[in-house]
Amino acid sequence: MNSATATAELRRPTDWKGSAMQNRIRRRYAAERRFKLLGLLSILVSAAFLAFLLVTMIGNGARGFTQTEIRLPVDFPRSSLMLDPAALAGFGADAALAGADIEGTTAAAADAAFGAGGARLLSDGAWLSVRDAIKRDPAILRGKAEIWVPAATAIDLAAKGNAAPAAEAAYGKLQKADVVRTGFNWTFLTRADSTDPTLVGIWGALKGSLVTMFVTLVLAFPVGVFAALYLEEYAPRNRWTDLIEVSINNLAAVPSIIFGLLGLAVFLNFMHLPRSAPLVGGLTLALMTMPVIVIAGRNAIKAVPPSIRDAALGIGASRVQVVFHHVLPLALPGILTGTIIGMARALGETAPLLMIGMRAFLASPPGGIMDPATVLPVQIFLWSDEVSRGFVEKTSAAIIVLLVFLLAMNGVAIYLRNRFERRW
């Protein structure tokens, strides 16, 4: 009797319309919504971080591309500068300029124009602008001239609304006299490192990066492509091939700083190649980039359908001809995409280059692959360590330049992928 009631109880259909079930379903739907929201939120956290990072960098860095200049009146005939315009006409001009006390003249002119302590309103390198002006037109030595020279860091920051009250006041006075202007900072794009933040430029580091990347590309691309071709097309299945595959996959996962240690021990201490040279940097980065190219290359080669190989073999091509006339051209867009992505990674790499000494202070861009050089990310690292406040915006500006390059490279990679990659 009892058990019969129990069975009946069990068999009673679920009351979906009942409040208990309705509540349960509501709870489950609420949980569903919460879960979905959580997923969206976690993506938005990444997006917010990225946006914050970019806004901070652009906010700081945009100011690094501008430069405050002061119009400096110089009365050459009455200055202490003993420089004959005729001496600057031809040969020996550089020697004459180097011998003249332009620095003192500039400081004296600033004191005369802006009162005592006027020289402190100008950048330490203001005299370089005066020298360049004289070089451009020696005739100005015969009379009074007005030359635009870079302002000191404090004035520069004041012009950008970011400085101590004293500098603000000095800037206000200059503004009233209408002798300041803020313009695009060409110096930043054309000069190399300097100890004065108003005089630094990234061209030195950028050129170092380009030379290093060139060495990397020349070494890593052929080796990577050949290794990928060998492994995909010719390698017999044996223990040696496995060993090669395992080492390539491991190399792709080895921390980059280990490559720096390798470069230091092998290229510098064993082979005695010059320290800080783009050649060594390029070699080190090539070892790091090669596995990326091999892996991307193998995927691209794998994607070429076997029917193409069969067709070529069928009409009498040799295996080398099949690969070099048919497989490689068809896989090339994929290989290039992978290469560009690997090169972009190498361009942003810092740690291994610190190990091989590409962190020297260099006031001039490198002339070749054996000259001491530094690269863009290392320059950013070095500037980030500087105490002077003027370097903050220069660091961010350098980061913007680096990001623009990376963005451009990735853009090219995406374009190549979309334009040339074929789906078989």
23-62 residues in contact with other proteins (CB under 8 A) are 28-29, 31-32, 35-36, 38-43, 45-47, 49-50, 52-53, 56-57
Q: Which is nearer to other proteins, 114 or 267 (CB)?
A: 267
Please, which of residues 225-284 interact with other proteins by CB under 8 A? Answer: 226-227, 229-231, 234-235, 243-244, 247-251, 253-259, 261-262, 264-266, 269-270
Q: Which is nearer to other proteins, 187 or 395 (CB)?
A: 395
Q: How far is the CB of 69 from other proteins (least distance, A)?
A: 27
Q: How far is CA 390 from the centre of its chain?
A: 20
Please, which of residues 325-344 interact with other proteins by CB under 8 A? Answer: 344
Q: Which is nearer to other proteins, 175 or 250 (CB)?
A: 250
- Return the range that interacts with other proteins (CB under 8 A); candidates 72-80, 109-117, 173-181, 350-358: 350-358
Q: Which is nearer to other proteins, 217 or 290 (CB)?
A: 290
Q: How far is the CB of 54 from other proteins (least distance, A)?
A: 9
Q: Which is nearer to other proteins, 82 or 414 (CB)?
A: 414
- Return the range that interacts with other proteins (CB under 8 A); candidates 13-21, 138-146, 152-160, 220-228: 220-228
* Count of residues that bind other proteins according to CB under 8 A: 82
Any contact of residue 355 with other proteins (CB under 8 A)? yes
Give residues with Cβ within 8 angstroms of 122, minimum separation 6.
70, 72, 106, 107, 110, 149, 150, 151, 152
Any contact of residue 299 with other proteins (CB under 8 A)? no
Please, which of residues 377-396 interact with other proteins by CB under 8 A? Answer: 377-378, 380-381, 384, 392, 395-396
Any contact of residue 410 with other proteins (CB under 8 A)? yes
Any contact of residue 320 with other proteins (CB under 8 A)? yes
Q: Which is nearer to other proteins, 182 or 410 (CB)?
A: 410
Any contact of residue 20 with other proteins (CB under 8 A)? no
Q: Which is nearer to other proteins, 190 or 249 (CB)?
A: 249
- Return the range that interacts with other proteins (CB under 8 A); candidates 94-102, 117-125, 204-212, 374-382: 374-382
Please, which of residues 174-203 interact with other proteins by CB under 8 A? Answer: none
Q: Which is nearer to other proteins, 155 or 375 (CB)?
A: 375
Q: How far is the CB of 253 from other proteins (least distance, A)?
A: 5
As a three-state string, the secondary structure of the chain is: CHHHHHHHHHHCCCCCCCHHHHHHHHHHHHHHHHHHHHHHHHHHHHHHHHHHHHHHHHHHHHHHCEEEEEEEEEEHHHCCCCCCHHHHCCCCHHHHHHHCCHHHHHHHHHHHHHCCCHHHHECCCHHHHHHHHHHHCHHHHHCEEEEEEEECHHHHHHHCCCCCHHHHHHHHHHHHCCCEEEEECHHHHHCCCCCCCCCCCCHHHHHHHHHHHHHHHHHHHHHHHHHHHHHHHHCCCCHHHHHHHHHHHHHHHCCHHHHHHHHHHHHHHHCCCCCCCHHHHHHHHHHHHHHHHHHHHHHHHHCCCHHHHHHHHHCCCCHHHHHHHHHHHHHHHHHHHHHHHHHHHHHCCCHHHHHCCCCCCCCCCCCCCCCCCCCHHHHHHHHHCCCCCHHHHHHHHHHHHHHHHHHHHHHHHHHHHHHHCCCC
Q: Which is nearer to other proteins, 82 or 407 (CB)?
A: 407
